[in-house]
Amino acid sequence: MSSLRVFVGLDYSNAVVQVCVVDAAGAVLGNRGCPNDCREIVAFAEQFGTVAGAALEACTGAANLADELVLHAGWSVDLGHPGYIERLKQSPDKTDWQDARLLADLERVGYLPKVWQAPEAVRELRQLVRYRQDLVNQKRKTKLQIRAVLRQARCADPPQWRPWTKDWRAWVAHLAPLPAQSRWVVEQRLAELAALEQRLQVADRRLSAVTAGDAEVARLLAQPGIGPVTAWTLRAEIGRFDRFRSGKQLSRFCGLSPCNASSGPRQADAGLIRAANGQLRAVLIEAAHRLIRHEERYRRLAARLRGRGKTGSVVAAAVANRWVRWLYHQMAGGAAAAA
């Protein structure tokens, strides 16, 4: 292997990875497609010199390849933010050759807009958390479908039972005045709902077992307003709190900061920023509603905001914003060294 320091850009795809190798001056030494195999990529790049750094865009599968390159080849690998990298392109054309060259150049000059590379354990936890959320979404959809059939048949709920209690479900299954085909559909939907609830219980048990020894999850559960689902989601989507420089940065990552829409003398907000994980933001908004009900300082904050004419959704987002900033200081100082 040559002692020449080189930089590598990897344009990832599931079958072929475009590998561009440049020297310290930016001259292209090689740029071709390699099979999506760590050994093939390393063999091609290291024939030109010692790899001083490598970059690839964050996408599905990219983190696994990055882990392999770090573990087996000892490379320093950075994941780049796809949105910011797209804005740095100087041509409307898109080719794998150009994309790999851009990544190599950004890594060479130190301008790659990096994203945090979550460890495998955190990525696996995300799989479980997102699978659970998918089940929750399916459950919600099934409930709406059942209610739609009841509304179409003009079936009013019995006043003595709350919807979705055991007695209410028994009424829907056996006593609700439904036409024959509508009853059959409702029976199928109720069976789907029961199956989804069982799968949710299995997912919850697995998440509990997987996170039983996780110190970060234990610290989250010790905070007021945080239950298991909130703790699992925060751990999976945020990972480490100390990777953020401030509570304000964490709040922005969670999508709880106002989006500035100012121009000239006009100063305005355009709602919450959109570049955020929707599931994470929803969990934090739900936590804010609990805090408003049970924590005195957040109840007072909500009352002040309502007194200024703010709507309920704005109040919940503001409380979540304030709480996440406070949570950062609780969690970042004693974050575990290992994710």
Identify the bridge partners of residue 16 per DSSP, sorted by sequence position: 35
Once rounded to an integer, what is the mean pLDDT over residues 275-300?
Answer: 91
Closest CA to 193 of 252, 144, 258: 144
Strand intervals (E) in the chain: 5-11, 16-23, 28-35, 50-57, 77-80, 114-115, 258-260, 269-272
How far apart are the C-alpha atoms of 300 and 285, rounded to whole Å?
17
Asked if residue 46 has pLDDT above 80, the reply is yes
CATH number for 5-115 (one of 3.10.450.50, 3.40.50.720, 3.30.420.40, 2.60.40.10): it is 3.30.420.40
Query: Which pLDDT does position 267 carry in this prediction?
Result: 64
- Which pLDDT band holds residue 339 (cuts at 50, 70, 90)? very low
Asked if residue 263 has pLDDT above 80, the reply is no
User: Chain-wide mean pLDDT for the chain?
Assistant: 91
Least confident of 17-21, 90-94, 174-178, 282-286: 90-94
Asked if residue 134 has pLDDT above 70, the reply is yes
Q: What's the pTM? A: 0.85
Once rounded to an integer, what is the mean pLDDT over residues 9-27?
Answer: 94
Query: Which pLDDT does position 337 carry in this prediction?
Result: 40
Query: Which pLDDT does position 338 carry in this prediction?
Result: 39
Asked if residue 269 has pLDDT above 90, the reply is no
Q: What percent of the chain has pLDDT over 90?
A: 77
Instruction: Map out the domains of the chain as residue ranges.
Output: 5-115, 120-210, 215-332
